Structure 1
C-alpha cells in the first residue's frame, strides 16, 4: 500500500466514524492526531480522488460522507491493514477514556448492542442482576416499536482509567474463561488482539461457545473475558483503584495475578502481572444462548458516564475470587499444529501415506442429505473444494457418524518432508470476488482456536447459498530461496487433487494479505469448507479440526 493509499484509507475511517458530513478542516486535524501531516488543501485533493472512485460523496457545504461502496472498501479492501488496526482501535478507545472515578465524571467506552423485542430486553436486564457485567450502568435507546439499542460499559474503560492514573496496561487476549463452583479458573480459548481482523471477543460471542446461563444457574460454564498485563511495581495501586471502582459500580475484574506468575492459565513475564476482566457484553450472551434475536457489538464508541443510568444493583457479583491455583497453561494453536505437521508422511510419488484429517460428527439420519450437499458443493466450486473425504464410525455412539476431510496442514507436512520450510500464518475467510480477496484473517500464532471453526460457528461462510461466495483458506509462508522446489511440489499436490489456490511472489499481496519479506505466500483451501456447507443447511454438526491421521489411500473421492 502506498502512502497516498494509506492516507485515503485513514480518511475513510474518519468519515465512517463521524457518521455525518465532515469538512476538510476536521479531517486534517484527525489525520494529524494519527501522525499524518496533511493540510486542508491536500485533504481536499485526496477527497476528490475518493469522490471519483465513489467511496465518498459531497454533501453541499457540510462536507463529505462515506458511501456504502466506501464502507465496503474499508471493510474488505485492505485486510492486511485491518489486522493491525484492531489493536489500534482499542488503543484509541483507551486514550479517549477520561473518566474520573473520584468525581464520577467523564467518558467511558461502551458496547452498543441491539435487541428486537421487549421480552429479550427484560431478559438482558435480569442478567445484570447476577453481576456478570463490567457495570450495571447502561443506556437504553428505543429505536422503533420493540427495537432498542443498549449501551453497556466495556472492560476497556478500566484500561483507560488505569492510563489516566499513570498505569500503562497492555490488552493481550480476548477469550473464553472457564468457571467452576462460581470461581474463575483458566482461559480455555484465546485470540491475540494484535493478530486478528475480528475483535477477539466478537469471535467468541457465539451461542455454541458461551454458557453464561449455566454459570448463573449452576456456577459452571464459560464466559467471555479479556486479559491484559501491567508492570508489577504498580500492583498495589491497581488493587486500590479496582476497589474504588467497585464502590461506584464499575467492576468485573476477575483476577489480579502476581509478578511473573501464570494468571488464569496465561503465562506472564517477569516484571509484569496479569489481570482478567469480564467481557462487557456478557449479559447479552444469555439472550443469544436462548436463541433470542439480538445483535451484539464490541467496543463501539465513547459515551459520557452521565448519560448512563444504573439498573439498581451495584454490589452484586455471583462469582467468587479465583483460588489462585496454577492451572495448566492454555495451549496455543501453532504449537499443536507444528507437532501434528511432523506426523504427516504422505509420499507424493506413491500417493500413499498418512494425511492429517478433520473429523466432524453428526446424526446418521442426515447421511443422505449430507452426501448430496457435499457433492453439490464440489460440483459448484470444483476449483475451490477438496473432493476427498472418509466416512468414520463414531467412537461410542452408533447413531452418529463422522466425516473426515483433509486438513490444510497436510500440505505443510508434505513440504517439510521434502525439505521445504513452511510456516502457517493465517486462517482466513476468502470472498470469491474478482479478484478473490480475504475479508477476515486470524493469526495461528496467538490463537488457541482454529480460525475456521470461528468462521463456521459465526455463520460467516457462503458456499452453496445465493450471493457472493465466501470460503475458508489458510495462508502459509515459505522462504524465497526454496521457491522453485516448493512450486514443483505444490503443482504435484494440486494435480493429485489437494486444494492449492495460489502461489505468490516475494512481497506480493496474496488475495490482499501479506507475508514477511524474503518469503512468498501460498493459499491453501480449508478442509472444513465441506463441513461449512453442511452447517449452512442448518444441520447440527460437531466441527472438529486437526483430529487424527488417516492413510490417504483410504480416502474416498466425490
Structure 2
C-alpha cells in the first residue's frame, strides 16, 4: 500500500488524464500538476504513472502518453472530498518530519515555499523581497534560486522562469519536533499590524478543515498590505499559529531564541495556557505560538504588480544551500 501523499498525487494525475480527449504525456502532466500546486517533476510523474498502469487505471500508448481506463474512471469517481480535506495537514506532517535542520551544527533541511517568476521580472522582484525581508516581513533573509529546466528537489522550473525558495514558517514546527516538542499548525491567518506591532488576527482558516493551504487562500484573495505595513506601520500580513503542550512553553522559548542566531526568527509571542492568543482560539492545556509567514516577502512582490505564482509549504531544502538575496 502506498502512503497517503502518493495516493493523492495518483488521484490528481488521473484527473488530469481524464480531462483530456487524447493521450497525455509525463511532461504535460508534470506542468499541470505544478499549476495545481503539486511540487512534482517529470521523473516523479513517470514513477506514479507506472503505479497507475500496474493497477489498470491508465493505459500507455507508446510514447504518445496515457489515457484513463474504465476502471480508472470508476476509481476516480470514488475519490471523496473528505480525502482531499486531509491533504494539506497530511502534507504538512510529512514535511515537518523531513525538516531536520540542526540549530547547533547548521546542517539539515528547512521547509520552503516555492515561487515562480518570469526571468525578466526577477531583478525587480528580488529588490522587493530584499526590502521586505530587511523590515522583518519574513522568517529568514535567505532564499534558494532554481534556474529553468532544472528538476532539483523534484521541482520543475519551466523555460523562461526562475524559481525562488523562501523559508516557510512551518520550519518552526520541524524545529520544535526535533527538540522533542509535539506541534502541529492550527490556523493560517491574516494579522493586523498597527504601529509596527501585531494587533491581532482578523481572519483565520483551520489547516485541518480545508483542501487548500490557508495561506494560499489569502494570497488568492489579495488580502495583504505588506508594503503598506512596512511603510506606515499599519497593514495586513500573513501569519500562522501552532499549538504545543503548555508544559513545553519554556523549552520552546529557549529553542526559538536559539533559532534567531541562525537567522530563523519571526515568532511573535508565546501565549498563556488555554488562552486565546492575538484573538486566535487555543485548546485547553495547550499554548499558541503565532509566527509570521515566510511568504510575506513574496506577497509584497504581487502587491507591486509583478506576476508571481507561489506554492506555500512546498518541499524541503538544505539551509546551507540557501543564500542572502
TM-score normalized by the length of structure 2:
0.76
Counterpart CA distance in 2 for 1:270 and 1:45 is 44
| Deviation for aligned residue 1:84 | 1.3
Q: Which of 50, 53, 56 is matched with 2:57 structurally?
A: 50
CA 1:124–1:272: 2 relative to 1, 3 Å? same
Greater length-normalized contact order (CA 8 Å, ≥ 6 residues apart): 2
Partner residue in 2 for 1:280? 294
Partner residue in 2 for 1:84? 86
Partner residue in 2 for 1:127? 132
CA 1:219–1:168: 2 relative to 1, 3 Å? same
Give CA deviations for 1:445-495 in whole Å, capped at 9, x if unaligned.
Answer: xxxxxxxxxxxxxxxxxxxxxxxxxxxxxxxxxxxxxxxxxxxxxxxxxxx
| Deviation for aligned residue 1:125 | 2.2
| Deviation for aligned residue 1:58 | 8.2
| Deviation for aligned residue 1:162 | 0.6
> What is the DSSP-based 3-state SS (H/G/I as helix, E as strand, rest coil) of the residue aligned with 1:267?
coil
Q: Which of 41, 55, 63 is matched with 1:19 structurally?
A: 41
Counterpart CA distance in 1 for 2:12 and 2:105 is 31
Give CA deviations for 1:232-252 in whole Å, capped at 9, x if unaligned.
Answer: 111110000000101110011
Answer yes or no: is 1:216 the counterpart of 2:230. yes
> What is the DSSP-based 3-state SS (H/G/I as helix, E as strand, rest coil) of the residue aligned with 1:230?
strand
Answer yes or no: is 1:175 the counterpart of 2:189. yes
Counterpart CA distance in 2 for 1:138 and 1:79 is 35
| Deviation for aligned residue 1:9 | 3.4
| Deviation for aligned residue 1:115 | 2.1
CA 1:206–1:7: 2 relative to 1, 3 Å? closer
Partner residue in 1 for 2:253? 239
Partner residue in 2 for 1:139? 144
Kept after mapping to 2: 8 A contact 1:135/1:249: yes
CA 1:219–1:84: 2 relative to 1, 3 Å? same
Give CA deviations for 1:379-437 in whole Å, capped at 9, x if unaligned.
Answer: xxxxxxxxxxxxxxxxxxxxxxxxxxxxxxxxxxxxxxxxxxxxxxxxxxxxxxxxxxx
Give CA deviations for 1:471-530 in whole Å, capped at 9, x if unaligned.
Answer: xxxxxxxxxxxxxxxxxxxxxxxxxxxxxxxxxxxxxxxxxxxxxxxxxxxxxxxxxxxx
CA 1:103–1:190: 2 relative to 1, 3 Å? same
Structural mapping, 1:466-481, within 5 Å: none
Answer yes or no: is 1:270 the counterpart of 2:272. no
More helix by share: 2
Counterpart CA distance in 2 for 1:280 and 1:8 is 26
| Deviation for aligned residue 1:258 | 1.4
Partner residue in 2 for 1:250? 264
Kept after mapping to 1: 8 A contact 2:11/2:79: no
| Deviation for aligned residue 1:140 | 1.8
Partner residue in 1 for 2:113? 111
Q: Is the radius of gyration larger for structure 1 or structure 2?
A: 1
> What is the DSSP-based 3-state SS (H/G/I as helix, E as strand, rest coil) of the residue aligned with 1:298?
strand
Kept after mapping to 1: 8 A contact 2:201/2:279: yes
Equivalenced residue count is 281
Q: Which of 7, 10, 17 is matched with 1:9 structurally?
A: 7
Partner residue in 2 for 1:99? 101
Give CA deviations for 1:267-295 in whole Å, capped at 9, x if unaligned.
Answer: 22332111001111100111211221111
CA 1:12–1:207: 2 relative to 1, 3 Å? closer
Kept after mapping to 2: 8 A contact 1:94/1:159: yes
| Deviation for aligned residue 1:220 | 0.6
> What is the DSSP-based 3-state SS (H/G/I as helix, E as strand, rest coil) of the residue aligned with 2:86?
helix
CA 1:18–1:216: 2 relative to 1, 3 Å? closer
Kept after mapping to 2: 8 A contact 1:108/1:303: yes
Give CA deviations for 1:341-380 in whole Å, capped at 9, x if unaligned.
Answer: xxxxxxxxxxxxxxxxxxxxxxxxxxxxxxxxxxxxxxxx
Counterpart CA distance in 1 for 2:160 and 2:9 is 36
> What is the DSSP-based 3-state SS (H/G/I as helix, E as strand, rest coil) of the residue aligned with 1:177?
strand
Q: Which of 164, 170, 177 is matched with 1:150 structurally?
A: 164
| Deviation for aligned residue 1:51 | 2.5
Kept after mapping to 1: 8 A contact 2:58/2:67: no
Counterpart CA distance in 1 for 2:39 and 2:128 is 31
CA 1:49–1:270: 2 relative to 1, 3 Å? same
Give CA deviations for 1:40-74 in whole Å, capped at 9, x if unaligned.
Answer: xxx9686241333x7xx888xxxxxx96979x998
* Range with greater deviation from structure 2 (141-150 or 175-184): 141-150
Counterpart CA distance in 1 for 2:115 and 2:318 is 17
Compute the RMSD of aligned alpha carbons: 3.4
